[in-house]
Every structure is written in structure tokens, then in C-alpha cells.
Amino acid sequence: MKMTVSVAASAPRANRSIGAILMDSGVLSPEDAERILLFQKEHGLRFGEAAIRLGLLSEADIQFALSRQFSYAYLRTMGDKKPLSDELVAAYQPFSPRVEQLRAIRSQLMLRWFDKAEQRQVLTVVGTEPGEGRSYLAANLAVVFSQLGERTLLIDADMRRPRQHELFLLQNKVGLSTVLSGRSRDEAIIRITDLAGLFVLPAGPVPPNPLELLSRLNFDEFLIHVRASFDMVIIDTPALSTGEDAAMISVRTGAALAVARNGQTRVASFNDMVQGLMNAGVAVVGSVLNEVPLKKAVK
């Protein structure tokens, strides 16, 4: 089966003023923008400084507008309405310590694996048990890579207990399962309009034969096409304890990032997983430990 992946063009870089961006976002009224401009001219200030002095905008408002000017997309909560799940901390809290850790992981992956010239664009996120944080890590890594300006595709290959459609508040009527079964094509890939450069392929309806779907040759064909269309492809997988899906996907992609959770993941199982992947020729490019215990102060 022939497949094509058509992807919308990247969002244009913002070149509007801070005031225009905030008015378009509903944060600033035209009347207040006029007050700020007058105050700015009278006192020789920058727009943001004048707005803060007048008490019409906060520092967070200015940071949000600057992020749009420099094409560093992140989201703000407006009341109770949220376009994505709170678990996507990289989208909502880009300057927090947790997201700094995610950016550090991103930097290591850029150094150790990702290289479009070498066709190393795909990475599988793996773990041994459910609840270790694979979906959380895969989703937030996809966000921080897109914030770097990379065209990033997040694939939910957990066709047993899918999670990515819940994190991105998407329908799950089509996805990887329908693509591999020939019932849908590139329309299953969804552009996340609030985060420029980020695309998600949900898992789709849970099939009775996920391992068999992944064994088909059209999965390899699909990977070839997404490599040609995206700078980064991150694949979320089910726990190894639930089936061989993650191992099979890792072999097909060639690289894996191993995830463990403190107090939950068994060291022996984790070591067996990593060794098994390496024996199969998979490059295990790193490991991430979730919920690292705090060090006690030395008395």
C-alpha cells in the first residue's frame, strides 16, 4: 500500500508588535493599547515597561508576547478553558525547573542521536511497566523540540492503552491503527495549531492485533515517509510487560530512550530490557529516571 504524508507549512514567524499580539489574544483592549502608547511616548519607555507601570499588563503577559515574536510558542490558561492537558508542562510552564530538565534531555538527544543528514530522526520511548511516565515524557519532549523550531511528529504507538489523544484533547477515531490497517492515510496526522511545528498521530481505535499491525511492511514504509516530512519523530509505546510492541518498534526505528520510575521500576527488569534492545542492534541513546528522590541534607 502506497502512503503519502502531506503536512501543512510551518507557521510564519511573528513580526507583529507586542500590543498587536496581546490584542489578538484578547489580553489587551484597543483603548488600553492607546493609553500605553501615549504613556510610552511621554516617558520614553518601551511598550512593555509602560504597560506594566500603568498596571494594564503583567510581566507574564509581556513574556507571552515576546515568545510569539521569537516563535517560541507556549500556552496560557484563560479561566477554566485549556486547549491541552495540564500534563503538558512544556506547553504551559516553559520557564519552570521541570521544563529546564526536559530541555536538558533534548540537548543530550540532539548530541547523541538526532541528525537529519544521517537519517536519524526517529526515537522510540520505552519502559518495562505501565505508569512509568513514558507518555508524559514523549509528549513533553515533542513540545520542547517543536519550540526549538523543529517540525516534530509525536506518534502514539501504544495501541493497547493509548494516552496521547487524552493529553492533546483529540478524538481517537483515526490514528496509527487505522493507518496500518489501510483505513486512513495522512489525514490521521493532526497539526497542533497552538504549538507551531507540532503534529500528533494518535493511536486510533484499539485493534485486536496490535503486534501484527506493527509487523507489516507498511509500518516500515510509513516510517520512511515521516522521516522525509519531519525533523523529529518521537514514538510513545506500551510497557514491555504488556507485549513485544516496544521492542519491535525500537528495532524498526533503530533507537530508544529508556524510562524508569523511582520506587516502581525493577532494576533487573530495566537492565534486561536495555540489554535485550542492545543485543537486537538498537541504540539505547539514554535513560530517564522519573521522580528522582531528593537528597537529604548532610548533618
Q: What is the DSSP string of 157-209?
A: ---SS--HHHHTT---SSSHHHHHTTS--GGGSEE-TTSTTEEEE---SPPS-
Alpha-carbon distance 119 to 111, whole Å?
14
Note whether 201 and 176 are within 8 A (CB): yes
Q: Which stretches in the chain have pLDDT values below 70?
A: 1-16, 25, 60, 63-64, 66-81, 292-299
Structure pTM? 0.77
Q: What is the pLDDT of residue 194?
A: 79
Question: Would you tell me how many other CB atoms lie within 10 Å of the CB of residue 179?
Answer: 25
pLDDT confidence of residue 154: 98
Contact 266, 189 (CB under 8 A): no
Per-residue pLDDT tens digits for 103-152: 999 999 998 899 888 889 999 999 999 999 999 999 999 999 998 888 99
Task: Report how far Cα 95 is from the mean position of its chain's Cα atoms.
Answer: 16
Q: How far apart are CA 28 and CA 47, in angstroms?
A: 13
Q: How many angstroms from the chain centroid is the CA of residue 193? A: 13
Q: What is the pLDDT of residue 74?
A: 58
- Give the C-alpha separation, 67 to 187, whole Å: 29
Phi first, then psi: what are they for 16, rounded to 5°? -90, 165
- Each residue of 228-257: pLDDT tens digit? 999 999 999 999 999 999 999 999 999 999
